[in-house]
Amino acid sequence: MTFNSLPFLVFATIFFTIWPLMRRNDQTRWGFLTFASFIFYGWWDWRYTLLLAANGFLDYGVGRLMETLPRQKKRLLITSIMANVGTLAAFKYTGFLAQITNAVLTPATGMSVPVIALALPIGISFYTFHSMSYVIDVYRDDVKPTHSVLHFFAYLTMFPHLVAGPIIRGAEMLPQLRHAVTPTEPQRWEGTSWIAYGFFKKMVIADNIAPVVNAAFGGAHPVKSLPYWWIVVILFAVQIYCDFSGYSDIACGLARWLGYEFPRNFNHPYIATSLRDFWTRWHISLSTWFRDYVYIPLGGRGDSARAWHMNMWITMLLSGLWHGAAWRFLVWGGLHALYRSLERISRWPERLAGTSVGRSVAMLLTLGQVLVAWVFFRAVDMPQALAVVSEMFNPAHMSWAPLAGLTQPVIAFVTLGVLREVLLAGRLGERVASLMDRWTPLEPVLIVAVLVATVFWRGEGNVFIYFQF
């Protein structure tokens, strides 16, 4: 079930009514959380719970074995990684790999391998990464393996983060789950605030923008207009940010209500002044996962600039592939790698950082690069992505006429999204927080308004974009 659905409202009401009774004892706390999370996950398709369970038992077992058979640690790690990556590859990349094989094989030999497209279990990319991080952390002695299978499953399947993150590591969550925490009123309030704004971002801003973006990318041939495509891509940038960060906010808020804490997943990414800065603000749990489990093991910064470029490129390309088995995701990752390479070589962010005008220019330059890359992320396929990008840079097509279809109130929702970001980012955000502190009824009134607006202004229901990954 998705957070923005009636079944979830019923599920959450029942869960949080029973939770205070179940959280006192370790076994009932972990058992209840696991049971509820399996219901939450099985709501999509109960058969996928078997895969989730198999994944969990394997990595729990590997963790235990690493403790009892320390000499076999490396072998066990390789087994777990191969099983996890193999499962992910089987469900997510089989079709893509077959297409690549055929592209090479067929022209030369006339033979082809069958293209099998398995249905992708929802959230597989997320829970596989949760699980892998646990095994790697146990291998590195960064976390002690848990001796309770329920404890492990409560962490792995915990419904707030299960299907679309944030990607939580065992080292962060397992110690928290050891304690029966009664959330304090400030924690409950913070959770409520996260949840209310998360729903607002998703259901009001992202869902009202979605039809315009879908229509733009739904055409067989891209509209021939430079301004049209820049505006559509800006709309998509706002949509995907509000969609995904909205989900993360709700997840963090639900964790708060449970008495736990998830790490922050977004930090106003569109005000980044370099691509390096952007990746410390966008999908932070994924970028830090790739940093700690791919980039650093590859050698990180290395001894030379060349090593850094190579390790960074591999990491970014893998990050692109993680999002989807298609060339356009690979190009999206590759574009970000290219941006970062150019950034490192030219050092343009540092050159612009000296003045406020320079920082504004750097922010716009960063945003422009991110927007171009988003085209590959959103397009239906590579030919469409290339056609759209060529329209974005074709000064011969300066027609504003296609924008007539966009002068809908969607602009109002984009403005809401941008205004919210501006109000909360930087010093202005601190002033807003201080105002809330001084006049305590203000925030509850705002939350009521946000929840009412979410119900009555919500767009047509869409699933969260990141569910497909």
3-state helix, strand, coil in the chain (%, to 5): 75, 0, 25
Alpha helices in 259-352 (DSSP H): 275-278, 284-290, 296-298, 305-323, 327-346, 348-352
Binding residues for other proteins, per CB under 8 A?
6, 185-192, 204, 208, 214-215, 218-221, 223-224, 401-402, 404-405, 408-410, 412, 433, 436-437, 440, 443-444, 447-448, 451-452, 455-460
Q: How far is the CB of 450 from other proteins (least distance, A)?
A: 8
Distance CA 373, CA 228 (A): 17
Residue that is written with structure tokens 């690493």 in the block: 66
Q: How far is the CB of 217 from other proteins (least distance, A)?
A: 10
Exposure class string for 224-241: b at 16+ Cβ within 10 A, else e:
ebbbbbbbbbbbbbbbbb
Q: How far is the CB of 228 from other proteins (least distance, A)?
A: 10
Question: b/e map of 70-93 (b: 16 or more CB within 10 Å)?
Answer: eeebeebbeebbebbeebbeebbe
Query: Quick one: DSSP state of residue 265?
Result: -
Residues 6+ apart with CB under 8 A from 368: none
Smallest gap from residue 37 Cβ to other proteins (A) = 21
For 306, 443, 450, 451, 461, the CA distances from 457, given in Å and listed in that order, are 51, 20, 10, 10, 11
Q: 128 or 208: whose CB is closer to other proteins?
A: 208
Residue 135 contacts residue 59 (beta carbons within 8 Å): yes
Place of tokens 């940038």: 237
Give CA–CA dist 369/390, Å, rounded.
14
Q: Closest approach of Cβ 383 to other proteins, in Å?
A: 13
d(CA 452, CA 76): 52
Q: Which is nearer to other proteins, 78 or 445 (CB)?
A: 445
Is the Cβ of residue 160 or residue 191 nearer to other proteins in the bound state?
191
Query: How many Å apart are CA 309 and CA 303, to the nearest integer?
Result: 11
Active site residue 323: yes
Closest CA to 203 of 268, 165, 234, 249: 249
* Beta carbons of 249 and 197 less than 8 angstroms apart: yes
Minimum distance between the CB of residue 408 and other proteins, rounded to whole angstroms? 6
CB of 255 to other proteins, least distance (A): 15
Residue of 151, 161, 323, 336 marked active site:
323
* DSSP class per residue in 8-25: HHHHHHHHHHHHHHHTTS
- Cβ atoms of 222 and 229 within 8 Å: the answer is yes
Q: Least CB distance from residue 326 to other proteins, whole Å?
A: 18
- List, by residue number, the catalytic residues: 323
